[in-house]
Amino acid sequence: MIDYYICITTYNRPNYLNSLLADLSKYDINKRIMVFDDFSPQFDVIHDIVGNYKWAEYYRAPKHYGKEGYWKMFNEIFNVCKSIKAKKYIFLPDDVILKDNFFEKAINIYNNIEDSNKICLSLLMDETRRGKTCWTNYKPIDKGDIYKTQWNDLCFMCEYGFFEMLNFSINPISSSRFIDRNISSGVGRQISIRLNNLGCNMYHVKESLVIHDNHESQMNPNERNINKLISG
């Protein structure tokens, strides 16, 4: 069994992806990495970047799902994870930078959460949402190095039970959701609500283990111009 199975979601940002893979290459750990590409136009560039790292694998979606079809992308990711046995699974967007000792800190924080119902630990702390409710209307509770938040932001660590609780599937998200063009994909929202309703507990690190700077978003450019996603 591998220690870490790392899922990286990417779309048409080869420079960010290469930087993240270079970050990961610094860690001599028992890992496998799959880059899930949402049908980037720069296919050849991204494919070649992934090929530079012998421990990384490449998966290209059959079409560009974009924001409205992001739930389909996650279903494909979950389907791959179903056949992978790992101690921990880590989900990372392509545009984050790992802080020093990322794995050591993440695993220590996760393992020190004394809660038999814990289901995931989000690794990015968005300063605009620190201490605020999100999706489940649960008021975050300060628990030392972490907050119990009851929501998931799609940059997280989990175990195999996470997928089992979700039946390895994201339910279809109606296109009517996207009448508001600035709204998010709905994937994190659905995961959070479903797991919360099942009595699972979700946590966030208090100090972000990844850096996300103020750059243009591929999925929500207008929203991110208004509400910045900054951590680190």
Other CB atoms closer than 10 Å to residue 51's CB: what's the count? 11
- 195, two tokens: 């797991």
Confidence class for position 44, pLDDT limits 50, 70, 90: very high
The structural architecture, per CATH, of the domain 2-226 is Alpha-Beta Complex (3.90)
What burial letters (b/e) apply to 134-155, b meaning 16+ CB within 10 Å?
bbbebebeeeeebbbbbbbbbb
pLDDT at 218: 52
Residues 132, 130: Cα–Cα separation, whole Å? 6
**DSSP single-letter state for residue 213:** -
In the predicted structure, residue 9 carries a pLDDT above the cut 60: yes
pLDDT at 228: 39
Query: Over the stretch 174-222, which tens digit does the pLDDT of each residue have?
Result: 999 999 888 999 999 999 999 999 999 999 999 999 998 754 545 554 4
